Structure 1
């Protein structure tokens, strides 16, 4: 990791808060004034733009970039953050390393913040943004199929294929109906277990070829997915490598017995689990399989995953991130 001392942020009104009022079962809509006041107390001079539906933040961020904005705060969950990232990476005029993003976490999962060291409370998150300590992380690019067309999506945390993607799809449907919290993930995890079957995958990992009956494949920059499950326990967001967790065909009872171990990462010791690392991943399947990126359902296989190293500056609390100092803005 690059290590530098912090320097003072330009205190002008440069931050744009991308606010998802629906996050946390409309908790953001109720709490925005409280969040904004916390940001102001820590001299985070900001203006806000509000999303109305899924995908809005991508286009709103692109519009703000044209206006010269380079600092964005995602106010919501992993989905909101993912859209901000895609707004930045979906334009080609400004280098992505010119941007800094921050998060005020309010959504259901908040998995990205667990790896990156972002505080949960409004005051604590605002303080971290005000202090302006940043870390440079890698970002992943996915080329995949949606409605018969090749599409591109970027992700900052974890992408999943197969069982993971089915669970994410169920969680998203429940969130649209007002459900939230850990139980939403666990109930979707268990109900999906009895519906999903392992499928044959052809995986190209850099120069290696793998063919296996796969229950689930996670490709990550961060460690956590699914509301706090440590699915990639050795992942580092700035090491220039994807971590992969490959779960081969496994019995339903055996998987149920491993659920508790998903939360501390010890499930990777099971004989059906293989952990890998690489820069480029290609995935093909006999039948199209669902893909999720940062908890968002995006499309189907076949797909390719490319790592973009040291691609984005993100605001962190260095104590929570478990590091002594970080890159400055």
Structure 2
């Protein structure tokens, strides 16, 4: 088997020594080329080159969710084709590793590598569904390039939090769960539309859902982790189905306290709910429109401001070793 290992040297939970051990373990089972990323988007470029070469059977992403997202977008640059494209394996090296954990992999890089090697020996793999975003025709965002996400995307409040965290990290702050909590508070205090949302969700043949402050889109569950605690916005979301959406139409102090408590106590059976919460399940395609530009995030990566984004749930998009 010919494999490409894409290594993010800035992965927050792996040391250079650990990465060296993992490299040797993988190289003992396959013909391996390892490349270290040097700039934002490099992992995407490497995965794209691997698919175009036709000489790579497997791409292994060693890093956090951002690295995985880049690799997936490189693999699927010309669209899904599981029979032709290399498979994907993920070694978690970030602070949260939602995609890897949603696949059932250990959150420890060494243990996850062992699980991947076992899966390769046994020929164990699965097809997963992903989300695809694109610009909406007839809007100012129609020319925005399409982009895949592996576990969630968000327009509005949660994307604003992600943007604040990225600003803090650019200033040298370490990515921790405490940092995220602080930015949630700051985003709440600075949110102009928390009582009267600007987002409308439209899908073919259905009444629109209006006045949302935030829309969180998921193609798996949980939505994220706070330490080792899973948090479920859309408990029914699955790699085997379309997209799920949780929309909140109010983020007053009382609403934040209520939904925050529900998130912390959420489970695979029950997520946030109430008068100002809208939950939609297994959607194939829909569009989020906003009256004002709002921040957009995908897989924890802030992508700037948008007024309109079209989402498509693509089943069996990618072959993953697990």
Shared fold by TM > 0.5? yes
Query: Structure 1 residue 206: deviation in Å?
Result: 3.4
**Is it true that 1:301 corresponds to 2:307 in the alignment?**
yes
**Count of residue pairs the alignment pairs up:** 300
Partner residue, 1:289: 294
Which whole-Å CA distance do the structure 2 matches of 1:223 and 1:254 have between them? 23
CA distance in 1, matches of 2:280, 2:209: 14
2:11 and 2:158 map into 1 onto residues whose CA distance is 21
Residue in structure 2 matched with residue 205 of structure 1 by the alignment: 203
Contact map agreement 1:39 1:130 (CA 8 A) in 2: yes
1:121 aligns with 2:116: no
Report if the CA contact (8 A) 2:102-2:221 is conserved. Answer: yes
Report what 2:153 is aligned to. 159
CA distance change for structure 1 residues 64 and 50 in 2, over 3 Å: closer, same or farther?
same
Q: Which residue of 2 aligns with 1:105?
A: 92
In the TM superposition, residue 267 of structure 1 has moved relative to its aligned partner by 4.7
Structure 2 gap segments, 5+ residues each: none
> Which has the higher mean CA deviation after the structures are superposed, 209-218 or 150-159?
209-218
Q: 1:161-310 alignment to 2 at 5 Å?
A: 161-176=155-170, 177-196=172-191, 197-198=193-194, 199-227=197-225, 228-239=230-241, 241-265=242-266, 266-277=270-281, 278-299=283-304, 300-310=306-316
Change (3 A) 1:38 1:121: farther
Q: Deviations over 1:199-253 (max 9, x none)?
A: 22221123213242212111110113344432221111112x1111111113123
* Alpha-carbon distance between aligned partners in 1 of 2:111 and 2:22, rounded to the nearest angstrom: 11
How far apart, CA to CA, are the structure 1 residues paired with 2:78 and 2:15?
Answer: 27
- Normalising to structure 2: TM-score of the pair? 0.85
Q: Which residue of 2 aligns with 1:73?
A: 60
Larger CA deviation: 245-254 vs 75-84:
245-254
* Equivalent pair of 1:200/1:213 in contact (CA under 8 Å): yes
Q: How far did residue 109 of structure 1 move? A: 2.2
Residues 282 and 123 of structure 1, relative CA distance in 2, 3 Å threshold: same
Determine the structure 1 residue equivalent to 2:43.
Answer: 57
Choose the corresponding residue for 2:319, options 309, 313, 321.
313
Of 289-298 and 197-206, more deviation after overlay is shown by 197-206
The aligned counterpart of 1:326 is: none
CA contact (8 A) 2:239 2:315 kept: no
Residue 72 of structure 1 and its aligned partner are, at CA, apart by 0.9
Q: What CA deviation, in whole Å up to 9, does each residue of 1:116-174 have, x standing for no partner?
A: 11111222211221122211111111013898842211111101010011111122223
8 Å CA contact 2:234–2:271 kept in 1: the answer is no
- Classify the secondary structure of the residue corresponding to 1:137: strand
Work out whether residues 214 and 247 of structure 1, in 8 Å CA contact, stay in contact via their aligned partners in 2.
Answer: yes
Higher relative contact order (CA 8 A, sep 6+): 1
C-alpha distance after superposition, 1:264-301 (max 9, x if no partner): 43552333212102110111111111111111112423
Distance 1:226 1:172 in 2: 17
C-alpha change, 1:282 and 1:104, in structure 2 (3 Å) is: same
For the residues of structure 2 that align with 1:158 and 1:28, how far apart are their CA atoms? Answer: 27
The 2-side partners of 1:282 and 1:65 are apart by 30
Aligned to 1:7: none
